[in-house]
Structure 1
């Protein structure tokens, strides 16, 4: 029986073109050496692809919007036409963007967006805690539902494992709609235990959107025993909101079967600013690795600086090479990671990549005061990408993720000021210092790094 399982899984494994060679090799050894345990684990968490029905009607509505008089994107995004091809949607101009650099700025804006909604509010998060922060956001949505606003809430079931559906019962009783995002649902023919919806997205009336790295919980807002995470989000208005509405509509269709094709959910946007935005959605339902390819396009075109912050840094070889080359041609390349992450083994994996970058001139900083949860890539003082995606294999290949690239000097400068401020609370890793780390640290890195393709 084990032999049949072993040899039955190999064709499926070898046919996955999107899996990295290292990932394929790691799973191959796991199945061959441990046919029972390895085979079962591969069935549960080894797949990186899922098929989803696309919302053709929604895409048609959005195409109608963009065939109308939508302002073209600024110069930078026009000089990167590959981004539109990578992400399957055009960049847009005429947007407004406000960076929200921490929970104390994000959550008041979130509550205000909900309280101001007139027709609908669509909310999507990975983690939603049943704590005071979670209650405040939920209760704002309850009030919206009671005044006649259509409310839909989509939460990843694994990310919010300890928040029962009963927590959202008061919202459903008020007329709001709630659904778990499930990729493991045998009755629906889904057996993908390893896939997560890591996106964070709020849309109100098709006019304003919030997205970034913030989840709903006290560790993001503050007020607990520990200082809140250092995180980042953005408020958007303009044509880009229609594209973000399409992202939510497809996620909601996958979770509930309800197609949000009514024109009220996709109104024609008004020009309200001068910011260019490229939506960068990543997921196991797409053939391209959108987030990694978009990141590579930006790094390869950089002329002066590339500054990035990420909680998890487990880059694949193409990104490592791009950062090395950028530093060697004189670009100021800086990477900021947490001093200690919320997953100890990933901290060791992250540090194992330092020796691939430090000798080439890449500067690395370990942020100390609290957990660094922000995901940011700022390039040449003119463009900044923020969102939900970490620079690790799970975000780049497995999770449903959502980033936005902002072509705006003002917003980029604000992001760079945040980076510089965090440098004051960080320690820079030097070549000599890294080479002088303890033997136990070297062993931990050596043991954990080969597991990266499976993480």
Structure 2
């Protein structure tokens, strides 16, 4: 087993022996590349009581969970946000929650901000504006004196972003794919979810935040300010019959384009990518995926190998046409990826792949306004869940900073499938698959 397991760290040999075979293979694949992420190998691993993990489905329910936990904050709050729209109700609710706190709380907010060229790439903006990051521009002005707010930014003109959305509150963690944006509201809002994880993953999430905070582009605003880890509840409380292993996997921002004319970069070696590839490689019978975008050639080929050579079944849920403007030029659209994956399957394995376009109502028509599944979820063999911020496209796996948690517990996996996956998969619309090779980047 890996050397750091023998160093007397919080993750003991007793817990390793309790891990599933699949989890052990994921750990073995992910931890040796820790230096390609943001968290050291020994901090990537933790223990949680899976019964204490709270799961919420829906973007507005996610916002309610975040605001509720912020209201209970005692000392320190760390927030990473890819999109932070100050006029949205959730930002107003966060500000009100902070104003209601009577004791001193330190808040670190790290926001990704697109500079002008990046606004054109991500959103097709015709008249992009220079981003601002003062408290008033972020909707957090006039906070009471007991709330110490520190703002960090990652401003960039490249495609490489800080796409993470983790929140750390006094040693507990909320992981979500949700941005703080207006598009998440209403009956046709982006669909997302969240998990509240007490203890366990706290150290990894904290040090990921600190690594990204130390790389912020506005360091000159507050040179010496950095969050300080205040400790967490002893892992002894999780080391019981209910405890299970969790692995926090990350990658780092990379400026280099993964795709250029006549060139495609291989999938980078890092904890997050290696965890995905190991999960698929060692899966035995069933993989369920919900993701906004998928076009990574390595992921597509791994799924095809799983279906063809192990008679595996893949259930894939995505949004029709989501991000097509961008993905068409950087890896391929969801439709082209589906077509290519199908073209790789043996004729007698075609039915092992079920793909659906996300849809909230159980009928056969997609509304004029395209519905978006924004949750990033994978379950493997009903045993392991991978959940976090990462898409399965070139932008996430090659360029952006992403974080996922890997949870190894069959009961929890079943609960997550039943609460997060099956209800929306069942109402979504089956995709008619045309087995034609249309994704040139995958060839």
Q: Greater CA deviation, 383-392 or 246-255?
A: 246-255
Offset at residue 451 of structure 1 (A): 7.8
Q: Does 2:337 match 1:357?
A: no
Match of 2:237 among 242, 266, 271: 271
Structure 2 counterpart SS, 1:391: coil
Match of 1:51 in 2: none
1:110-155 deviation line (CA, Å, top 9, x unaligned):
11211111111111111112222221123323444x5211111111
Offset at residue 163 of structure 1 (A): 7.2
1:374-421 deviation line (CA, Å, top 9, x unaligned):
111110001111111101111001111111111122331133223222
Match of 1:140 in 2: 97
TM-score by length of 2: 0.73
Match of 2:421 among 412, 419, 422: 419
RMSD value, Cα: 3.2
Query: 1:163 and 1:265 mapped to 2: Cα distance?
Result: 33
Contact 1:120/1:151 (<8 A) preserved: yes
Contact 1:71/1:271 (<8 A) preserved: no
Contact 1:150/1:176 (<8 A) preserved: yes
Query: 2:155 and 2:132 mapped to 1: Cα distance?
Result: 18
Structure 2 spans left out of the alignment, 5+ residues: 1-5, 35-39, 120-129, 256-267, 361-370
Superposition map of 1:137-286 within 5 A = 137-144=94-101, 147-158=103-114, 165=134, 166=136, 167-171=139-143, 175-184=147-156, 193-206=158-171, 208-220=172-184, 222=185, 224=186, 226-255=187-216, 256=219, 257-258=223-224, 260=226, 262-264=228-230, 268-269=234-235, 271-272=237-238, 274-284=243-253
1:252-285 deviation line (CA, Å, top 9, x unaligned):
2222454647452667556345132110111136
Count of residues paired in the alignment = 366
Query: 1:355 and 1:310 mapped to 2: Cα distance?
Result: 17
Offset at residue 452 of structure 1 (A): 9.2
Query: 1:101 and 1:378 mapped to 2: Cα distance?
Result: 16
Superposition map of 1:3-402 within 5 A = 66-67=9-10, 72=15, 74-76=18-20, 77-80=23-26, 81-87=28-34, 88-90=40-42, 91-96=45-50, 97-130=53-86, 131-144=88-101, 147-158=103-114, 165=134, 166=136, 167-171=139-143, 175-184=147-156, 193-206=158-171, 208-220=172-184, 222=185, 224=186, 226-255=187-216, 256=219, 257-258=223-224, 260=226, 262-264=228-230, 268-269=234-235, 271-272=237-238, 274-284=243-253, 288-316=269-297, 318-328=298-308, 329-346=310-327, 349-359=333-343, 360=345, 361=350, 362-369=353-360, 370-402=371-403
Structure 1 spans left out of the alignment, 5+ residues: 1-62, 185-191, 436-441
Contact 2:80/2:111 (<8 A) preserved: yes
Q: Which has the higher helix share?
A: 1
Distance 1:64 1:260, change over 3 A: farther
Query: 1:333 and 1:115 mapped to 2: Cα distance?
Result: 40
Query: 1:344 and 1:368 mapped to 2: Cα distance?
Result: 21
Structure 1 counterpart SS, 2:168: strand
Query: 1:372 and 1:310 mapped to 2: Cα distance?
Result: 7
Q: Greater CA deviation, 271-280 or 293-302?
A: 271-280
Distance 1:322 1:64, change over 3 A: closer
